Amino acid sequence: MKTALGHLSLCLLVLSASGFPFERKGSTPPGAKEKRVQYAARDDVNIIAHGLLQLGQNLKEHVDKTKVQMRDIFNKLKAFNRSMSDMGKDSLRLQARALEMEDQLLNVTVELRDKAEEVQQERRTMSERMSRIEEKVDSMLQGDKGPDIQLVLEAQSRRMEELVERVRLQQDKLDKQSTRLRTLQSQIQRSRPRPEAHAQNSAEEQRDSPVEMAADCHQLFLRGETTSGVYTIQPLHSEHFNVFCEMTADGGWTVIQRRQDGSVDFDQLWEAYENGFGSLNGEFWLGLDHIHTIAKNGSYVLEIKFSDWGDDSASVRFPFKLGGKESNYSLRIPDSGTFSTLESSLGTDAVLGLPFSTSDHDNDHKVDMNCAKHLSGGWWFTNCGRSNLNGRYFQSPPPKQRHQRKQGIFWKTWRGRYYPLKSSTMMIAPADIHKL
């Protein structure tokens, strides 16, 4: 800009120095020499004027450009000021929120302190009341009426004992009669075989009679049994057999497998897995035939619990169906959406049904390998690598060699393929157990 102004001033100086007459109209014509000088001067002036125009043009462009730049800078400054102001507002808002939260915290602290004092006060009141009651009882017992009350209490206690004894005797009698009736009924059934439909109706009628055995642990629970332990059950169209019932607040679960200390060898053949083995009060496998017999009579759920050596535990629960001998006791877990990672160690492969395998019955999905032989025990094997709760029991610490460790009890999506678990329990119950 300065340079352009400098050029303009210089041109004006040259013009004034040359004494160029800008207006020549009406002047007297000079001599020939003078004329030539005038023409030469006019050419110079034309050149200078042209230069001036050029300069003016450049100057104008420069000014326009500068104006645009200045406008941009102003706009940017305005935007910057705006964002600074917004940030200031945000900061104020945050400060206000922090103060508000501090107030809330203070209020909660005060409330908690008040509550704690209230509880303390209540405790003191209760304690005083208890002391007063104790004093009253003591004085009554020591006073004139004391012996009378003691006598009445003793008499009541004796009556209660007598009643309990009579109830127990009645119960014994009832149990004996039940057993006798059951024996007679099974003798009658055996001697007079009836059509299937009729037999079913008859069995359903018996269900309501007092002599019929419970079909599973949940029925026992519904009849008032709340203590876990060994019970005899008799599923529909089946012989009676003993099971371990895990009685919970929800209902009665029939335990089908338990591992806890390695006291029972689970590396068994097909027949053993079909009929069951072990001790119901310790480690055992209830038997595929028994599990099928119970679960075929309705909708059942399978719950599996396992724990590691840090006593951490996990569990999964599936609705399931177990096929009979003809399907190699295929386990089918219907696809109810997607399986969780934990569930996928068994659920995913059992959607269409997964047959059971032992080392002498290779029904697994691995074509070139017998999973039960390669690992250990019997299980619903797929490709030998997802789960096996009937594997070898390893005490802690487990063997260092991976090829040994993989024969252990494992659930791949919980503690991994090579972590031998500490315990496992599998149990079944009617699907509506949780609705109670």
> Which residues make up the interface to Ca ion (CB under 5 A)?
362, 364, 366
> Measured between alpha carbons, how far is 413 from 341 in angstroms, rounded to an integer?
6
Q: Helix 2-18 to helix 32-142 angle, to the nearest 10 degrees?
A: 160
Q: Which is nearer to Ca ion, 318 or 329 (CB)?
A: 329
Nearer to Ca ion, 225 or 362 (CB): 362
**Shortest distance (Å) from residue 386 CB to Ca ion:** 14
Q: Which CB sits closer to Ca ion, 373 or 417?
A: 373
Judged by beta carbon, residue 212 or residue 364, the one nearer Ca ion is: 364
Nearer to Ca ion, 51 or 355 (CB): 355
Beta carbon nearer to Ca ion, 235 or 391: 391
Q: How many CA atoms lie within 13 A of 76 on its CB side?
A: 6
Rounded Cα–Cα distance for residues 258 and 389 (Å): 9
CA distance 264 to 292: 23
User: What minimum distance in Å lies between the beta carbon of 378 and Ca ion?
Assistant: 13
CA distance 184 to 171: 20
For the bound state, the minimum distance from the C-beta of residue 339 to Ca ion, rounded and expressed in Å, comes to 23
Number of H helices, E strands in the chain: 10, 11
Query: H or E element: which one contains 2?
Result: helix 2-18
Distance separating alpha carbons of residues 234 and 338, to the nearest angstrom: 35
**Shortest spacing between CB 359 and Ca ion, in angstroms:** 11
d(CA 249, CA 68): 82
Decide: helix, strand or coil at residue 310: coil
Closest CA to 244 of 212, 210, 273, 287: 287
Token pair recorded at residue 276: 């069951």
Neighbours of 430 (CB within 10 A): 25
Of 231 and 379, the one with the shorter C-beta distance to Ca ion is 379
Cβ-based nearer residue to Ca ion, 305 or 365: 365
Instruction: Give dist(CA 111, CA 223) in Å, integer.
Output: 48
Distance in Å, CB of 328 to Ca ion, minimum: 13
What six digits make up the tokens of 393? Answer: 């029991």
Task: Give the residue from 412, 420, 370 showing the smallest Cα distance to 395.
Answer: 420
Q: How far is the CB of 368 from Ca ion (least distance, A)?
A: 7
Residue 8 CB-density burial (10 A; 0-12 exposed, 13-18 middle, 19+ buried): middle
Query: Are the C-beta atoms of residues 321 and 295 closer than 8 Å to each other?
Result: yes
Tokens of 300: 């059942």
Q: In angstroms, what is the minimal distance from the CB of 353 to Ca ion?
A: 16
- Residue 38: its H or E element: helix 32-142
Question: What is the closest distance, in whole angstroms, from the C-beta atom of residue 361 to Ca ion in the complex?
Answer: 10
Whether 246 contacts 255, CB under 8 Å: yes
By beta-carbon proximity to Ca ion, the closer residue of 305 and 366 is 366
- Burial of 112-139, coded b for 16+ CB within 10 Å and e otherwise, reads eeeeeeeeeeeeeeeeeeeeeeeeeeee
CB of 182 or CB of 366, closer to Ca ion: 366
Give the DSSP letter of residue 320: E
- Whole-angstrom Cα distance, residue 388 to residue 378? 8
Rounded to a whole number of angstroms, the minimum distance from the CB of residue 373 to Ca ion is: 9
Identity of the residue, 283 or 364, whose beta carbon is nearer to Ca ion in the bound complex: 364
Minimum CB separation from Ca ion for residue 408, in Å? Answer: 20
